[in-house]
Structure formats: structure tokens, C-alpha cells
């Protein structure tokens, strides 16, 4: 095969992009003869100098999501024999979807100075193609077998589960009034959040589970319905459907905003429901809350879809094909 030493550069070991776009592939790459290493490019000048030195020693460098001031990106392009930029977010705009000249300039520069782009979805690919032709869509994927657990679901509640972080809590808060109305009819409804925050003054029962990589699969598996509310803007169109894929891997039916790549991952009426309005949310929830058989059938269909289309063994072959070129 030629080049064997791969360096992954990330903004930190705890970020989702590091885990799902980098770390989970390490053992697969090692099995194919690659020498894999990782460096965190956050922490000031020394961290940057260390990153540049390690990049100069590698055969291939994969930069995960992070962009730099232009001079740093230029130096990284100079010292790297082959530079691949991987993005799973619309890092060229602000988190409310508005334009950011600084972010776009950094994005444009790293695209032009990379040998290849791994884009998490078609929207990200289209934006990358404005600056380079070397773009491949690499969807975010899961090691689906980790989510195939036997977990006992609660009998006295039906748990709507949402997994996320403080930064995305605004999407969940958007639908709380609707959930509170639904709970007046379905008194056994409970909202379960797997996150790094708690909800205050909510008029429905809330179970808060601190997020942990070790327990997230079990906590999803013992829930009943996965929910994925989102606003529609350029930032959310750059999202790569991670929570939706996790729900399906845990055999949960999904109700998702009909936004971005979520609209591709969820098959409306088969693996869950895609909704755009408050009324559509309410109708979808009502159907699933009343019908255990429907929840089970949609959960099973979602599992089959994620293992066929988004399992790590499937997506890794796409990555390997690029690395072996």
C-alpha cells in the first residue's frame, strides 16, 4: 500500500467529531496496516507547534472539523505530505445559521490547501465543492453492534428520549410547550434527556441522565421513542444525523424535524416520522404513544436501515478506498 502513518488532528478528545469521525476507526485502520496517532491542536502556541511537527512526520494527516488562522492552515498544508480535511458541521457559518466572514475565509482556505475533503453529508459536500473538486461524502456512522442490547423498558411510563448537549438544548426547548400539551392527554409520558444539563420548571416528568460514553447505548435501549427537534438553517443542514442514527441503532422509532440529512436517514412512515409543524409533531407522537406494535415495527425497520447504510463496516470501506489511492 504505500503510505502507512496517519495522524488525526482534533480540537479535543471529548468532542463528538473526534469520537465518531476519528477514534472509532483507529482499530480498523490498524488492522489494515496503518500506524495511527492523534494530537489535540488546542492549547496555544506550543500545541500548534507540536501539531505541525507531528504532521510533518506523518504520511497522511486527517484534520477533524477544526480550522485555524490562515497562516497556520498554510503551514499545515506545507508540512503535510497529504492533508485530508474532515467536516461534520457547517463550520463556515455561525451556530444560528448566519454568515460569518471569518469562518468562511478559514473554511475556504483549508479546502483549497487540502488534498481531499471528507464531507459528512451532501450539503457540506456542495459547499466544499465551491473550492475544490476532491470531495467525498462520508456519512457519520456507528458501531451498531454496541447498541444491540437487551434492556428493560419502563412499564409505567413511555419515555421520549433526547440525547444532546447544552449547545443544542435550544431545539429541545422549542418543542417543550407542545410536549406539555401532549402530556395532558398521555399522562404516562416522560421526557428523558441524556445530556450535560437539566431542565427546570417543566410541566412534564423529566428524567435527566448524565451523558457517558459507557452508558449511552443502554440508556437509549431502555427508552421508547427517540426525538430530534431542529430549526431549519444552514447550521442544522450541516448536521450529520448522529442522534437519529443512535436512536435507530437502539431500535427506537424516531420523530425528527424534516431538516437536512435527518430527512434522508429517517424514512417517513417506516422508521419513524418526519415533521415540520407543531401539529405534525403532536400527531406523530399521539400515534406512537398509543401503539406499542407500531413503535416496535418502526424500531426494527430503523435498526435494519442503520446497519445496512450507516454501520462502521460499511462506511470504513469508503474511507479505506480514498486512503489507498
Q: What domains are defined for the chain?
A: 5-141+311-323 (3.40.50.2000), 144-309 (3.40.50.2000)
| Tens of pLDDT, residues 192-244 | 999 999 998 899 999 999 999 999 999 999 999 999 999 999 999 999 999 99
Q: Tell me if 102 sits within 8 A of 206, measured CB to CB.
A: no
At residue 297, the pLDDT reads 98
| Tens of pLDDT, residues 121-161 | 999 999 999 999 999 999 999 999 999 888 888 889 999 99
pLDDT along the chain (325 residues), means of 10: 83 91 97 96 92 98 96 97 97 95 97 97 98 98 92 90 94 96 95 93 94 94 97 96 97 97 97 97 97 97 98 97 91
Quickly list H helices, the chain. Answer: 16-21, 26-31, 45-57, 70-79, 101-112, 122-128, 169-174, 176-185, 216-221, 234-237, 242-249, 262-265, 278-290, 292-309, 312-323
Handedness of CA 65, 71, 76, 82 (dihedral sign): positive
At residue 94, the pLDDT reads 95
Q: Which of 105, 104, 111, 55 is nearest to 82 (CA)?
A: 55
Q: Tell me if 111 sits within 8 A of 83, measured CB to CB.
A: no
Cell of 135: 470531495
Cell of 304: 435494519
Whole-model pTM? 0.94
Residues 6+ apart with CB under 8 A from 238: 87, 88, 89, 90, 91, 93, 120, 121, 123, 124, 260
Cell of 141: 456512522
At residue 3, the pLDDT reads 58
Cα 199 to Cα 163: distance, rounded to the nearest angstrom: 13
Cα 154 to Cα 3: distance, rounded to the nearest angstrom: 51
Q: Tell me if 229 sits within 8 A of 171, measured CB to CB.
A: yes
Cα 12 to Cα 7: distance, rounded to the nearest angstrom: 14
Amino acid at each position: 500500500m504505500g503510505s502507512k502513518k496517519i495522524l488525526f488532528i482534533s480540537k479535543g478528545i471529548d468532542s463528538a467529531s473526534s469520537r465518531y469521525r476519528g477514534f472509532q476507526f483507529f482499530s480498523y485502520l490498524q488492522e489494515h496496516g496503518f500506524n495511527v496517532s492523534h494530537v489535540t491542536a488546542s492549547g496555544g502556541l506550543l500545541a500548534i507547534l507540536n501539531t505541525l511537527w507531528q504532521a510533518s512526520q506523518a504520511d497522511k494527516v486527517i484534520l477533524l472539523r477544526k480550522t485555524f488562522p490562515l497562516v497556520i492552515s498554510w503551514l499545515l498544508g506545507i508540512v503535510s505530505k497529504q492533508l485530508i480535511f474532515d467536516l461534520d458541521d457547517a463550520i463556515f457559518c455561525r451556530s444560528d445559521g448566519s454568515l460569518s466572514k471569518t469562518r468562511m475565509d478559514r473554511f475556504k482556505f483549508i479546502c483549497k490547501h487540502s488534498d481531499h475533503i471528507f464531507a459528512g453529508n451532501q450539503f457540506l459536500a456542495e459547499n466544499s465543492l465551491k473550492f475544490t473538486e476532491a470531495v467525498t461524502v462520508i456519512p457519520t456512522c456507528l458501531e451498531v453492534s454496541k447498541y444491540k442490547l437487551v434492556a428493560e423498558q419502563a412499564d409505567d411510563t413511555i419515555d421520549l428520549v433526547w440525547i444532546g448537549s447544552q449547545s443544542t438544548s435550544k431545539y429541545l426547548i422549542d418543542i417543550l410547550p407542545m410536549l406539555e400539551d401532549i402530556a395532558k392527554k398521555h399522562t404516562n409520558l416522560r421526557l428523558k434527556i441524556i445530556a450535560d444539563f437539566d431542565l427546570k420548571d417543566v410541566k412534564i416528568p423529566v428524567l435527566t441522565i448524565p451523558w457517558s460514553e459507557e452508558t449511552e447505548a443502554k440508556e437509549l435501549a431502555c427508552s421508547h421513542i427517540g426525538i430530534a427537534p431542529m430549526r431549519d438553517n444552514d447550521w442544522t443542514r450541516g448536521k450529520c444525523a448522529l442522534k437519529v442514527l443512535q436512536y435507530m441503532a437502539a431500535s427506537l422509532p424516531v420523530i425528527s424535524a424534516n431538516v437536512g440529512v435527518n430527512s434522508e436517514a429517517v424514512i417517513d412512515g417506516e422508521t419513524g416520522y418526519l415533521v415540520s409543524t407543531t401539529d405534525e409533531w403532536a400527531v406523530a407522537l399521539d400515534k406512537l404513544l398509543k401503539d406499542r406494535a407500531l413503535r416496535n415495527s418502526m424500531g426494527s425497520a430503523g435498526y435494519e436501515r442503520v446497519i445496512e447504510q450507516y454501520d462502521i463496516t460499511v462506511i470504513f470501506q469508503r474511507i479505506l478506498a480514498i486512503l489507498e489511492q
